Amino acid sequence: MISGNLLHLFFSSQYMVWYFVPDNAAYPVHTELVYTFIIFPATVLLFLDRYPKSGKWKQLIYLAWWVLIYSACEWVLSETGRIVYDHDWSWAWSTIFDCMMFPMLLLHHRNPILAYGLSVLIVVALVYGFHVPMSTVL
């Protein structure tokens, strides 16, 4: 999650599909740093620590609960102008991404190599699907 956000910032800084509106315009990087190094790691730790060890329905409900939490928080950020979408990205796309992200966190915890391979495929699909110019990626 942390590395994904850092890669997103590095490779698509000239073609952002979404971005946080900084709390203080003089220090825009602070908002990204807070999310990248505090919010996202806390999410990963809480999500993995409390993931049900058994019960497929419990696990599915748990995943849905986290997607709902993240989607609801992002909806509030969007409605209050704290997050801005561009290049056809939307709250709906973020919710779909959340539906991939949380299972991917579990997969990465259990089988990192497979998670990295699938992540590359997802990134390629997103770059292609959202017409990210290669000049902004390379």
C-alpha 114/C-alpha 58 separation (Å) is 24
Domain boundaries, the chain: 2-137
Helices (H), 14-90: 28-34, 40-49, 56-79
pLDDT for 80: 95
Q: Where are the beta strands (DSSP E) in the chain?
A: 18-20, 83-85
| pTM of this structure | 0.85
For the record, the structure tokens of 80 come out as 């209050």
pLDDT digits (tens, 9 = 90+) for 72-127: 999 999 999 999 999 999 999 999 999 999 999 999 999 999 999 999 999 889 88
Q: What pLDDT digit, counting tens, does each position of 1-54 carry?
A: 667 766 666 666 778 888 888 877 766 677 778 888 888 899 999 999 999 999
